[in-house]
Amino acid sequence: MTDTPVLELRNICKRFGAVVASNDVSLDLRPGEIHALIGPNGAGKSTLIAQIAGTLPSDAGQVMFEGRDVTGLDAVARARAGLGRTFQISSLAMEFTVLQNAVLGAVGQARTAFSLLRPVMKDRVLVAAAEAALEAVGLAEFRALRTDELSHGQRRQLEVAVALTLRPRAFLMDEPMAGLGMEGTAAMTGFLDTLRQRAPILLVEHDMDAVFRLADRISVLVYGEIVATGRPDEIRADAAVRSAYLGEATP
């Protein structure tokens, strides 16, 4: 693991009226790592992910991706540049097959254009990219199933496959474990553990067991400010973090 960041936030700010959702946030994501972003409800985690992805403009600060300033790019341009993202709310088309969803991800188009589906499904390059992504997340054998036949955990894996089709060189993930049971969480944890070799992951996650098991580094956000960044053992031992956030729930 080298220390040259793939992704770097420099003094990012966002206000909603009187609420300071991100306050001078600087952090980085390095090759091969999972960097978890934790904090209480309303701390500003989703806002920050949206600012990095480009769906929410920042009031100030810079987003650097692979050494390039992408602050002025919109979300589509950032995704095309290699910044992959999975969402808190599913963006899958449930009535489509698993493969169709992955192919549509490869196209990077809106999922409403059903009439476009036929030609797209005949595009060998797109289908091959989609199949490779399904293979990577362990869903290849389910390719012909309708997406609503998948378990909740498998759908989350499909979302990652959709993001993978664009061959991201960094991942932004907002609560990939949300709604998964114990088994699903264990499967997703194992999966993310291997995925970090393919592309480093900035991970927003409420499941503290998973975070402390997976993360190489953890940053703690409270009221829009990073109050600590460190290895899991350092964060666990940090008195300010314990009082501000972890409390008795420290794993």
Ligand X SMILES: Nc1ncnc2c1ncn2[C@@H]1O[C@H](COP(=O)(O)OP(=O)(O)OP(=O)(O)O)[C@@H](O)[C@H]1O
What does the binding site for ligand X look like in residue numbers (CB under 6 A)?
16, 19, 21, 39, 41-47
Minimum distance, C-beta of residue 226 to ligand X, in the bound complex (Å): 12
Nearer to ligand X, 25 or 214 (CB): 25
| CA-atom Rg of the chain in angstroms | 18
Minimum distance, C-beta of residue 6 to ligand X, in the bound complex (Å): 22
Q: Are 239 and 210 in contact (CB under 8 A)?
A: no
Nearer to ligand X, 19 or 128 (CB): 19
Minimum distance, C-beta of residue 172 to ligand X, in the bound complex (Å): 13
Nearer to ligand X, 167 or 206 (CB): 206
3-state SS, the chain, equals: CCCCCCEEEEEEEEEECCEEEEEEEEEEECCCCEEEEECCCCCCHHHHHHHHHCCCCCCEEEEEECCEECCCCCHHHHHHHCEEEECCCCCCCCCCEHHHHHHHHHHCCCCCCHHHHHHHHCCHHHHHHHHHHHHHHCCHHHCCCEHHHCCHHHHHHHHHHHHHCCCCCEEEEECCCCCCCHHHHHHHHHHHHHHHHHCCEEEECCCHHHHHHHCCEEEEEECCEEEEEECHHHHHHCHHHHHHHHHHHCC
Nearer to ligand X, 61 or 82 (CB): 61
Nearer to ligand X, 46 or 229 (CB): 46
Minimum distance, C-beta of residue 72 to ligand X, in the bound complex (Å): 21
Encoded tokens for 188: 């997703």
Nearer to ligand X, 16 or 114 (CB): 16
Task: List beta partners, residue 146.
Answer: 97
Minimum distance, C-beta of residue 88 to ligand X, in the bound complex (Å): 7
Minimum distance, C-beta of residue 37 to ligand X, in the bound complex (Å): 9
